[in-house]
Amino acid sequence: MLTVKDLNITFSRYYNSFSQTTLNPLHNIDLNLSAGEIVAIVGESGGGKSLLAHAILDILPTNAELKGTIQFREKLIDSNTIRQLRGREISLIPQSVSYLNPLIRVGKQVCRAARIGGLTKEEARMATDAAFTRFNLAPEVQSLFPFQLSGGMAQRILVAIATVAGASLIVADEPTTGLDPDRVTVFLDLLRMLADEGKAALLITHDLGAAQRVADRIAVFHGGTLVEVVKIADGSEVDNLVHPYSRALWEALPDNGFSTNGSSFSSHRHGNDEPLGCLFVKNCDRAEHRCRITYPDLVPAGNNMVRCLNA
Amino acid sequence: MKNFLKYLATKPLRLSIIVVLVAILSFILVSFSPLDPITAYLGYDRLQISQEQEQVIIERWGLDKSPPERFIAWTKNILQGDFGTSVIFNDPVTLVIGKRFAASFWLMFFAWTLSGILGFVLGAIAGTWRDSIADRIIRFYAYTLASTPTFWVAMILLVFFGVKLGWFPICCAGPLGVAPEQVSFADRLYHLALPVLTLSLVGTAQIILHTREKMIDFFQSNHAIYAMSCGEARFGTALFHGLRNILLPAITLQFASLGELFSGSVLAEMVFSYPGLGKATVDAGIRGDVPLLLGIVIFSTIFVVTGNLLADLIYRWVDPRIQIGEATG
């Protein structure tokens, strides 16, 4: 349903009046997503994962430059075609309630999403009511303002907005941030339910634990690109991660010993130059000389796709 | 709700403190000024009265008392609604202000409404389609007008529309030779046109620039990005989401600008010889009519302060976060 090929995003930023610097927060991203599937993009916060969501919906800031292609149902997404797709076919579940308009009652906002998703006034009203029932929200909630919602309610409102017009691809950008474990479970079940109905979902999260509970595939994101893509069998945990960064992420989970070596792994690529060497090399205990001079490609290693020379 | 009651109790108190301070300050300034009430009252006749007659007036008016005593006497009278008698109009000050304000009110009301609506719409358009041709034209207009003095705009309009084209009357609130009470409604509007236009043209500039800035900010907010990701076009985002969010600060600004409107109307009324409160202020100042001057100062303070209070109340009424937040929390 969604195919991302060799996606690159660069930002130009002026650091004084004469010189500018370019940041390359996202590069060499290849990804595909089919109906009924949940793919999780997992990586640390602040790494630039959200840019992928913004790129798909074409809501990047104006100083961002995008290279590569994004296709939705074999059709290229560009600034023209995306207009017909937003809300109708592709929808976004944002991080928090703060994305809702604070001055409009939530029922009206859901209804508005249905209207711009192509429904008539009457249909939109019915779809709104149906969405509230479906996501277990009392009808009275419709007349509340966003600031009156609890975290869980807000979450379901955002899901309602994303699905009310029948979008078939749902991009969820850090949807579980700040929710307690029960709410996270509720949300993940909801996402699974939507996927089982035939929708595709892209779950962008820093929470590997949550991702492995619900996703069909996990793509580990580091240094602006995907370093490992792994399939997960139903209900099982990922224990076959290969890339050193993925392993570190996995070992940092509470259930797996909570171990970190105390350092932040974040690293960004500057400029448009081809990277020299692996971006994880500084933190990697298996780094060799060739890791410093050769940029690894994403290659099959066992059942996974891994971007590591030692895989 | 409790908060609101507390607000209702304290806000007027704070505002009345402002009025009292303004009254004290302006009284001090006037008592140090070289204005001589007797000269202002008598004019050239002053030369013809005797020393004894002058002494009678001085005692009658209490001019022999110290300024603090006079201030207390003045305050006592004001609290009973007596602002004294205007020397140049020979009427009670309250009556003069009332009459003059009625004329100024319509001038300010039309100018205020027109500049508010026009400024808001133009500013919203400019901000929504930032850097478009429309935005550039609107911005050019706003920057030009924002740096133009009111009296100069008034003179240009007067010269062009009044004198050159002859479309509008060049002065006053009604045709010459017609008693103010007999001027028809249509004639009143006709005479109001140029002063209103002057004040609106100047007044829109600020609100355009402010609204444009707010709209640009809004389009960079999470709300706008999210709305657009839901499929809203730029126009729809502005209309359904943006206007609501930028209306509140615009309303506040518009009410807070009542002071500028007041001072603007003084200049416009002078240029057009429009018999409103602004012109009365200048006359009172030039001809040394102390009771009228002080009365106008106090009245205009109350006017501006009430405007700010209204802005505050409307803000609370319109913004659900304040209203419901207080009701429930």
Q: What pLDDT score was predicted for residue A234?
A: 62
What are the chain B neighbours of A100 within 8 Å (beta carbons)? Answer: 223, 226
Q: Where are the domains of chain B?
A: 93-279
pLDDT higher at B127 or B14: B127
Instruction: Flag whether the pTM goes above 0.95.
Output: no
Query: Would you say A110 and A132 are in contact if contact means Cβ atoms under 8 Å apart?
Result: yes
Q: Which of A83, A112, A145 sits opposite B240 (nearest CB)?
A: A112
Selecting from 3.90.1150.10, 3.40.50.150, 1.10.3720.10, 3.40.640.10, what CATH number does the domain B93-279 have?
1.10.3720.10
Apex A136 CA angle, A134 and A138, nearest 5 = 115
Band (B329; pLDDT cuts 50, 70, 90):
very low
Q: Is B329 at the interface with chain A, CB within 8 A? A: no
Q: What pLDDT score was predicted for residue A237?
A: 67
**Taking Cα atoms as reference points, which of A227, A258, A260 lies closest to residue A244?**
A227
pLDDT higher at A291 or B132: B132
Q: What pLDDT score was predicted for residue B116?
A: 93
- Residues B154 and B203: their CA atoms lie apart, in Å, by 13
Task: Say whether pLDDT at A260 is over 90.
Answer: no
Q: Is B223 at the interface with chain A, CB within 8 A? A: yes
Buried b (16+ CB within 10 A) or exposed e, B233-242: eeebbbebbb
What are the chain B neighbours of A87 within 8 Å (beta carbons)? Answer: 229-232
Task: Say whether pLDDT at A109 is over 90.
Answer: yes
- Residue A170: CB partners within 8 Å, gap ≥ 6? A90, A91, A92, A93, A162, A163, A191, A194, A199, A200, A201, A202
What are the chain A neighbours of B131 within 8 Å (beta carbons)? Answer: none
Query: Would you say A137 and A164 are in contact if contact means Cβ atoms under 8 Å apart?
Result: no
What are the chain A neighbours of B227 within 8 Å (beta carbons)? Answer: 101
Q: Is B244 at the interface with chain A, CB within 8 A? A: yes
pLDDT in tens, B197-255: 999 998 899 899 999 999 999 998 989 999 998 888 889 999 999 998 898 888 888 88
Average pLDDT over residues A100-114: 92
The reply to whether residue B231 touches residue A59, judged by beta carbons under 8 angstroms, is no
Name the minimum distance, in Å, from the CA of B230 to any CA of chain A: 4
The reply to whether residue B328 touches residue A98, judged by beta carbons under 8 angstroms, is no
The reply to whether residue A145 touches residue B320, judged by beta carbons under 8 angstroms, is yes
The reply to whether residue B241 touches residue A101, judged by beta carbons under 8 angstroms, is yes
pLDDT in tens, B79-123: 888 888 888 888 888 888 998 888 888 889 999 999 999 999 999
- Residues B145 and A269: their CA atoms lie apart, in Å, by 48
Q: Which of A86, A98, A148 sits opposite B231 (nearest CB)?
A: A86
pLDDT in tens, B130-187: 999 999 999 999 999 989 888 899 889 988 988 888 888 888 777 777 777 777 788 8
The reply to whether residue B223 touches residue A99, judged by beta carbons under 8 angstroms, is yes
Q: What are phi and psi of A135, to 5 degrees?
A: -95, 20
What are the chain A neighbours of B240 within 8 Å (beta carbons)? Answer: 104, 112
Q: Which of A91, A94, A102 sits opposite B321 (nearest CB)?
A: A102
Among A180-194, B24-38, B309-323, name the one with the lowest average pLDDT: B309-323
Q: Is B140 at the interface with chain A, CB within 8 A? A: no
How many Cβ atoms are within 10 Å of A83's Cβ, its own excluded? Answer: 14
ipTM of the complex: 0.85
Task: Say whether pLDDT at A270 is over 60.
Answer: no
Buried b (16+ CB within 10 A) or exposed e, A267-284: eebeeeeebebbbbbebb
The reply to whether residue A98 touches residue B222, judged by beta carbons under 8 angstroms, is yes
The reply to whether residue B230 touches residue A92, judged by beta carbons under 8 angstroms, is yes
Q: What pLDDT score was predicted for residue B114?
A: 94
- Interface mutation vs chain B, best among A59, A101, A104, A112, most B CBs within 10 Å: A101
For B184, the 3-state DSSP assignment is: coil
